[in-house]
Structure 1
Amino acid sequence: MDDDAEIIAEFLVESHENLDQLDRDLVELERQPDSRERLSSIFRTIHTIKGTSGFLAFGRLEQLTHVGETLLSRLRDGEAVMTPPIAEGLLTMVDTVRALLEAIERSGSDADPAVDVAPVVAVIEALLAGESPVVPDETVAAAPQSDADVRYDAEPAAVEPAAVEPAAVEPEPEAPKEWDGVERRAVVDASVRVDVDLLDDLVDLVGELVLTRNQLLQRSSLSSDIELQRASQRLDLVASELQESVMKTRMQPIGQVWSKLPRVVRDLSHQLGREVDLVMDGHETELDRSLLEAVKDPLTHLVRNSLDHGIEPPDVRRAAGKPAKGTLSLRAYHESGQVVVEIADDGKGIDPDRIAAVAIERGVVTRDQVARMDTRDVLGLIFRPGFSTAATVSNISGRGVGMDVVRTNIERIGGSVDVSSEPGVGTTTRVRIPLTLAIIPALVVGEGGERYAIPQANLVELVRIEGDDLRRQVQNLAGAPVLRLRGKLLPLVSLAEALGGTAEQTEALTVVVLQSDDVRFGLCVSDVHDTQEIVVKPIGRQLKGLETYAGATIMGDGRVALILDVAGIATTAGVGAVPDEAADTRAGADDDRTALLVFEVADGRRAALPLASVARLEEFDRARVERSGAAEVVQYRDGLLPLVRLATAIGLPDTSDQGDQISVVVHESEGAASGAVGIVIDRVLDVVEVAITASQVGSRVGVTGSAIVQDRVTDLVDLAAVVARSGVPA
């Protein structure tokens, strides 16, 4: 249904409800003509219908209600008194309005020729002029009724209006329609108003039903009773459909929250002297109404913050080469079972150095703590209690409260919020919230004899690695385990270690690949059980401080299983150095990016080579290095691995002899007799995915040039030339 059709449907439902009340009010008004309260209520109803019909371009309906409003206005102001002809004229108008509404429902227009409004307008105008009107019975009788209101067992009874002359021309009665046996539902009958508390009770009851269903399914799977198994499967199907239907009743578009933001932006921009263009996209994105209420205030605060701290005054923007009018955009969309809301502005952005300086000055963090933070962590300081960069306190900002409350409220409903910014370009705040809190699909895993649930919204895939693949694909990168998965390095986190235990060495590894915000990592678990729909229960306040857990649930056997907080595990384990490809896609990256292995090669000098050229990363005891003729080799995988000192090959002093071990990049080379060659480096620094802008500065044999990687000048290694120069026999 498009926006216009949805607005018309809501108008029809509301108007039909108002007309039903109007019939009762007019009858009571005829009994109590001096009731000012009832007259005012009738006037407001007709006025509302008139205003909306004009907005929707229903001209005949607007014309009819306009004259009726004028008559009611005179009655309300005491310029006329209620008489039987006036009451009859108003009731005729109500009947004609109802007929027009039914015509609009049938055809989408009020131009149905079967409903003639001119005679009714003439009657009311005559009443306004103080004349004795002729009420045309055929005006409404000729209007086709909705099938839901037609009776087929008797002819409609004729109504003789009091103190009104009969119509000049008596129309021939229409033959009653034959019923085709199909029940048709009018738009007014297609919806019903239900108390929100009743819906909440239904959701709670469905949650308990899902728990009971899980218990029955587990018991029936152990039983040999075929009928019990069939009944359990049927219960499973019905409970799932019931749960889905009940959840839909609580889903509402986020546009309901956004509806007040244009006024907020308009008032605040005038107050601050800004020119702002508000762009909203995805207002039809739906989420649970309880979450809608929870995010209303945080989103409003983020919008106010963008106007106050982000978008500059027009003269400042012009001086910076920007348009005088800034742009504030709100975007909402579904992603991985969550709702993502982005608040972006093209303002001055956030300067990490200023954030760090203010945080140190206000005692939010120490200078040593800032020195160990990356840019993302520094930007995250704006969410600390008591932090503000405002020079003065106003009624909008400066007290150091607000952003910390935003994060607290978002995280309370299982969401997350993060900020990315580029000074001089703008700031984007991304809020991620779950679709619903009550029942979620989850993967149940085992560790240490206990079961844990992982929300499927964070699940990417499951990977099982055994035998030689385990030794070949799992490596250590800068002291941390990583998995080489389809040409990319995936950080690994042991669930046992994340829970405070010790990971056991096994011959096989089960990895649950998870996605948290823009970070992808693998969680190593002992067992994978199955997927279930679980009912989320809040955890006690004693465990709320632990970042590892997001909640709890009751399993089919009645035992409690904790729900893992994927974002919390990633933060605790320090995962975040390796971005994922999807993050670049979501950020709108359209440049050619290359995955690079960055390392130190000599005396702190940095170099990089394409990650695609790296087969494995190894560390060998220096005592294992032997010589075969002029070449250095190590015994490796039932063969010999030739070694090439990279520093020597590219004209740098070799410093790789420091320490008891050497770091080696294993490169699969067609020019090597063994099929592989080991490139000796000082130490691995990082894996990055960047768009390379190469320079010829520093180019020489074995080095194609240099580039800026992670704000440092880095040599780009030509592995083919290095191997060729090394003299490794073909």
Structure 2
Amino acid sequence: MDELDDIVQEFLVESHENLDQLDRDLVALEQHPDSRELLSSIFRTIHTIKGTSGFLAFHRLETVTHAGESLLSRLRDGAQSMNVESANALLRMVDTVRGLLTSIEENGAEGEVDVQSVIEQVTACIEDGSGKPKAAPAAAEPAAEAPVPEAPADEPAAAEAHADAEPEPAAEEPAPEEPAKPAAPVQRAGGAGAPPGPPEPGEEGSAPQRRSVAESSIRVDVDLLDALMRLVGELVLTRNQLVRGVSEMSDPALTRTTQRLNLITSELQESVMKTRMQPIDQIWSKLPRVVRDLSSQLGRQIRLAMEGKDTELDRSLLESVKDPLTHLVRNAVDHGIEPPDVRQAAGKNPEGTLTLRAYHEGGHVVVEVADDGAGIDPERVAATALDRGVITRDQLARMETSDILQLLFQPGFSTAKKVTNVSGRGVGMDVVKTNIEKIGGTVDVDSTPGRGTVWRLTIPLTLAIIQALTVECSTEQYAIPQIAVDELVFVDGSSDKNIEHVSGAPVYRLRGKLLPLVRLDESLGLPVGSNDKDVYIAVLQAEGRRFGLVVDRVLNTEEIVVKPLATLLKDIGVYQGSTILGDGKVALILDVQSLARRSLLAAQAVEKSGLGADAQQSQNRQGSGNRLLITGVGDRRVAVPLDMVTRLEEFPIDKIERVGSREVVQYRGRILPLVRLAHLLGAYPAEDGDSVPVVVYSERGRSVALAVEKIVDIVEDSTDTHSDLDDSGLTGSAVIQQRVTEMLDVRQAILAADVNFFDAMDEYEDQYAGGLEEMSAV
């Protein structure tokens, strides 16, 4: 566009904005065909583009918009009504105009874009009183020959001349004459440099009529905004260094001055960042058209709802979010929301609802794509993952539902039954995850079968200045983006909880589960610490897994300015940027995603050793602690060692079935044996409810369910167990929380559910039934 003069540049910028507005308005008009406000707005927008294109001698563009204007004039005047054919024709006209503008931008001329077919389609929609198609409107060669629709009494008459007159600007649209002269691509800086005026639309006391763009904003060169942001970043770094230096002094006057500087710097930073912020509606505006076209193609009835469209993001992030968000919307229309007949058969409204929601949370922007469709069946996802070798059955037995849904982000993973031009090729969700994580964000999914799915993107407000945790390792300082930090754990040398090693890989037992560890010193080739005590573990979340990063010290949390890396450092793959800390030292910003991939090696070592979270819990149950799960069984309290609990579930009563004399339940694609502890212990069962809580124990691919009446508590018990009971199913009793509590014989309970549970577990059998092998040999 450098060859184009400034007027044409301004026309292209304005026209592209107008076309985005036309997409939104035409989709809305199809739903509200009698809205005079929408019709008038659309007519004025088309009229503006047509008049300016004639002035600039873009005759093909003028002809297409003139045809659309003629149809809109009849719709506005009530000569005919809006229908699907008219909407299709007008939307195709918008696409043709967009193609012509693109050709002008790239080639300086309209090129060979076909306009005749769309003119014929629009003309076919223009009917006279008898309902027969009218002739096509004249191709505005001299503009005076084209009929000029009469303007309503409340609108100024619009001139149709080319060079000697220019179109009257609408209230919503800036006039094409005297455009600004940007030297580079531009963006709107809402209110930057603008004099005080009346309140913005939607604010309390605002007038019904919107102010024009020219009255409420100015155009600012993007390069200028980027330069301002860089300067503010340097100011923030200097502020941090000054604040740290003054804190070590005892000068009250200097301290007050520094505090004032700190406040002013923060306000300046916030103001400059606001000039870079744009509402997420900038990318949402294209989605109504996407949903409309795709739902029509797939035979869906979908209502699109948008909540929080004014939520703002840094302009540098909007483009990065656009493609992932569009993919999630297309996926929701294709996979999520069912056809109308299927929804009706399920007792749902035949019209599905797709909701886009954006809001601020904890210094980030959360964007949700939610549908009320069929939801995602975790069992189907698990079965697909097993078929494709993504996971093993042993791994699946230890996975929560949320972990199973994370498999959707695996490369090439798809549960689509057939490949279409919309989805099913296994390309998409992994790209969504990769693109969002590149900008320091995260992706999550939550789904309820039969009720719907929510895809959740958590995105930093800006890439330039972020909150970070600073740590030290081997005397070097590093920064970790705060968004990835879940918690901090200190491994005290005097404690009995230490870092363990499984097949040479470090792990840490955090609340009963093994947490794979990555030693930062080993990962970066630094001198390795002499022991695993008196260190910190930063528990991080990335790549769909939790892992711990072992560091020597945790220093502080502070705002840091992200600086780009040199090419050589980028190739290392462990760093995502650099910064200058408050003490003036340069610190590298760690790439948490890369470290997460390294943590996978520790997890695989645990798997290969056979000491997964469940297996190791069973082997260490004698001495791994005294944490107990207290359950209610009838009118009795029964304790289960927490390291014999893989997970807690709750099954509907009507899902429990019988196989012979035993009860079972379908669970994650398999038949899960179930025993009711009330029956096993001879307790008086409580009245049946709609569901039953169960304790699931899994080991080496086998699982059983122990049904109880309720889950009471988890306790740390240091009391002695009395083994004076000879009742079947119990090992003793103890006073816990001032109540007599019975201790469950977990092995007997497991065998009551599945007599073959331990057959393939030689180590377990040797420990509990030393002569079993000899007996079976006889």
User: Which residue number corresponds to residue 481 of structure 1?
Assistant: 508
Deviations 1:369-413 (A, max 9, x none): 686454656644544555555565544334544334323322221
Query: Partner letter of residue 252 of structure 1?
Result: Q
Query: Partner letter of residue 523 of structure 2?
Result: L
What displacement does 1:440 show?
1.3
**2: distance between equivalents of 1:513 and 1:103?**
46
3-state SS of the aligned residue for 1:699?
Answer: helix
What displacement does 1:348 show?
3.2
User: Which residue number corresponds to residue 580 of structure 2?
Assistant: 554
The answer as to 2:374 corresponding to 1:348 is: yes
User: Which residue number corresponds to residue 146 of structure 1?
Assistant: none
What displacement does 1:273 show?
0.3
What pairs with 1:300-699 in structure 2 (closer than 5 Å)?
300-351=326-377, 366=389, 372=395, 374=399, 379-380=405-406, 382-390=408-416, 393-459=419-485, 466=492, 470-471=495-496, 480-483=507-510, 491=515, 493=517, 495-496=519-520, 499=523, 502=528, 504-505=530-531, 508-510=534-536, 512=538, 524-539=550-565, 549-556=575-582, 559-566=585-592, 569=595, 572-573=598-599, 662-663=622-623, 665-666=625-626, 684=643, 688=647, 690-691=649-650, 696=676, 699=679
3-state SS of the aligned residue for 2:227?
Answer: helix
Distance 1:689 1:575, change over 3 A: farther
The answer as to 2:233 corresponding to 1:203 is: no
Distance 1:475 1:532, change over 3 A: closer
**2: distance between equivalents of 1:103 and 1:349?**
43
Distance 1:727 1:277, change over 3 A: closer
The answer as to 2:696 corresponding to 1:709 is: yes
Query: Partner letter of residue 474 of structure 2?
Result: G
Are the equivalent residues in 2 in contact too, given 1:703–1:715 (CA < 8 A)? no
What displacement does 1:438 show?
0.2
Are the equivalent residues in 2 in contact too, given 1:391–1:398 (CA < 8 A)? yes
Deviations 1:443-463 (A, max 9, x none): 211111111112334456656
What pairs with 1:233-312 in structure 2 (closer than 5 Å)?
235-312=261-338
What pairs with 1:131-150 in structure 2 (closer than 5 Å)?
none
Query: Partner letter of residue 414 of structure 1?
Result: G
Distance 1:235 1:367, change over 3 A: closer
CA RMSD of aligned residues (A): 5.7
What displacement does 1:307 show?
0.9
3-state SS of the aligned residue for 1:315?
Answer: helix
Are the equivalent residues in 2 in contact too, given 1:385–1:404 (CA < 8 A)? yes
**2: distance between equivalents of 1:335 and 1:228?**
35
Are the equivalent residues in 1 in contact too, given 2:485–2:539 (CA < 8 A)? yes
What displacement does 1:303 show?
0.4
Deviations 1:40-69 (A, max 9, x none): 99xx9xx99xx9xxxxxxxxxxxx994474
Distance 1:548 1:353, change over 3 A: farther
Are the equivalent residues in 1 in contact too, given 2:628–2:640 (CA < 8 A)? no
The structure with the larger Rg is: 1
**2: distance between equivalents of 1:360 and 1:727?**
41
Aligned length: 496
Are the equivalent residues in 2 in contact too, given 1:493–1:522 (CA < 8 A)? yes
Structure 2: gaps (5+ residues): 1-36, 56-61, 77-149, 169-174, 176-196, 604-612, 630-638, 654-674, 686-692, 726-730, 736-778
3-state SS of the aligned residue for 1:256?
Answer: helix
**2: distance between equivalents of 1:103 and 1:224?**
46
| TM superposition score normalised by structure 1 | 0.53
Distance 1:213 1:104, change over 3 A: closer
What displacement does 1:223 show?
7.8
Are the equivalent residues in 2 in contact too, given 1:336–1:457 (CA < 8 A)? no
Query: Partner letter of residue 562 of structure 2?
Result: V
Are the equivalent residues in 2 in contact too, given 1:552–1:563 (CA < 8 A)? yes
**2: distance between equivalents of 1:692 and 1:429?**
26
3-state SS of the aligned residue for 1:301?
Answer: helix
What displacement does 1:285 show?
2.5
**2: distance between equivalents of 1:240 and 1:536?**
17
Query: Partner letter of residue 293 of structure 1?
Result: E
Are the equivalent residues in 2 in contact too, given 1:510–1:527 (CA < 8 A)? yes
What displacement does 1:350 show?
3.7
**1: distance between equivalents of 2:614 and 2:384?**
34
Query: Partner letter of residue 287 of structure 1?
Result: L
What displacement does 1:534 show?
1.0
Are the equivalent residues in 1 in contact too, given 2:648–2:694 (CA < 8 A)? no
What displacement does 1:282 show?
2.8
Deviations 1:192-225 (A, max 9, x none): 4423332122112212333344455566667899
Distance 1:574 1:270, change over 3 A: same
Are the equivalent residues in 1 in contact too, given 2:198–2:206 (CA < 8 A)? no
Percent of matched pairs sharing the same residue: 47
Deviations 1:158-216 (A, max 9, x none): xxxxxxxxxxxxxxxxxxxxxxxxxxxx9987754423332122112212333344455
User: Which residue number corresponds to residue 662 of structure 2?
Assistant: none
Distance 1:230 1:350, change over 3 A: closer
**2: distance between equivalents of 1:498 and 1:324?**
57
Distance 1:713 1:279, change over 3 A: farther
**2: distance between equivalents of 1:722 and 1:209?**
68
Distance 1:540 1:352, change over 3 A: farther
User: Which residue number corresponds to residue 649 of structure 1?
Assistant: none
**1: distance between equivalents of 2:321 and 2:683?**
53
Are the equivalent residues in 1 in contact too, given 2:535–2:550 (CA < 8 A)? yes
**1: distance between equivalents of 2:236 and 2:348?**
56
What pairs with 1:57-136 in structure 2 (closer than 5 Å)?
66-67=152-153, 69=155, 71-72=157-158
Are the equivalent residues in 1 in contact too, given 2:386–2:392 (CA < 8 A)? no
Query: Partner letter of residue 365 of structure 2?
Result: V
Deviations 1:489-541 (A, max 9, x none): 79584654773675544764545566669977765532232333211134456
Query: Partner letter of residue 499 of structure 1?
Result: S
Deviations 1:92-123 (A, max 9, x none): xx9xxxxxx99999975699xxxxxxxxxxxx
Query: Partner letter of residue 361 of structure 2?
Result: E
User: Which residue number corresponds to residue 127 of structure 2?
Assistant: none
**2: distance between equivalents of 1:209 and 1:103?**
32
Are the equivalent residues in 2 in contact too, given 1:482–1:492 (CA < 8 A)? no
Deviations 1:314-351 (A, max 9, x none): 22333444432222222222233222222222333345
